[in-house]
Structure 1
Amino acid sequence: MSKEEILLVYDKDCPACDNYCQVVRIRESIGELKIINARESSEVLEEITQLGLDIDQGMVLKMGGVIYYGADAIHALALISSRSGVFNKLNYWLFKSKRVSAVLYPVLRFFRNLLLKMLGKTKINNLNSTGNDRF
């Protein structure tokens, strides 16, 4: 029996996002986590765009055909995460609560946007075809 493929779509050009996505682990019994760079064209990014979700404002977790966006994505990821290692324990502890995730996620997004602006990175801009807006 093959494991369910769980997709995590995020901005690989953001060092904070990239570090988070490289370190987070899910329980093996849940499935296999596949990391997708939102700056590269993919079927799941097209689906995200068709749903009107701005990837610049939130990561996406697709699991079991369901799309989780932003705070819901980080909350769902915490619930399926492994509890091994300090990072994964902390991730679970911080984001296991939907309410806490909803409060913390906008703060994290603010700092992500600030970091990208300081690094001179452009927005992904999946909802707009120009793709060169600065933060």
Structure 2
Amino acid sequence: MAEPNVVLVYDKQCPACDNYCRWVRLRDAVGPLQLVDAREDTEILSEITARGWDIDQGMVLKVGEQLYYGADAIHALALMGSRSGLFNRLNYWMFRSPRMASVLYPVLRALRNLLLKALRKSKINNLGKADNERF
């Protein structure tokens, strides 16, 4: 059986997002995690936009053909994650429950938005870009 293709789409210009994505480790049985910058025009970002998902409101995890968005993505990462190292144990503990993930994720997203404002970084606005392309 082939290993599932695991892709995480996130905002690389957000230091908190970038560090999280670099530190999270998947169990060996899951396979390697491919990181994709949501600010780049990629096929997977087009797929996300076609679903009407605002990448500024949540990261996206793709496992095989299955897509997870926002709190569901961070929950799935926690379940697939390695338990080695303090960061990965803490990640598992915080996000292993779908309920906890759905409570904590909006808080993290709000902090990300504040951080981007403080750093004077623009939002990605993938849905707005799609609207502009139609005209």
By the TM > 0.5 criterion, same fold?
A: yes
Deviations 1:62-91, CA, capped at 9 Å, x for gaps:
012111000000000000000000000000
Correspondence for 2:45: 45
Deviations 1:90-118, CA, capped at 9 Å, x for gaps:
00000000000000000000000000001
Give the share of equivalent positions with the same residue, in percent. Answer: 64
Separation in structure 2 between the aligned mates of residue 55 and residue 83 of structure 1, nearest angstrom: 27
Give 1:93's aligned amino acid: W
Correspondence for 1:26: 26
RMSD of the alignment, in Å? 1.2
Correspondence for 2:85: 85
Separation in structure 2 between the aligned mates of residue 40 and residue 62 of structure 1, nearest angstrom: 17
Correspondence for 2:56: 56
- The gaps in structure 2 that reach 5 residues or longer are 131-135
Give 2:31's aligned amino acid: G
Number of residue equivalences: 130
Correspondence for 1:97: 97
Separation in structure 2 between the aligned mates of residue 25 and residue 113 of structure 1, nearest angstrom: 25
Q: Give TM-score, length-normalised by structure 2.
A: 0.93
- Kindly report structure 1 stretches of 4+ aligned residues shifted beyond 6 Å: none
1:28 shift after superposition? 1.1
Correspondence for 2:6: 6
Separation in structure 1 between the aligned mates of residue 42 and residue 84 of structure 2, nearest angstrom: 31
- The gaps in structure 1 that reach 5 residues or longer are 131-135
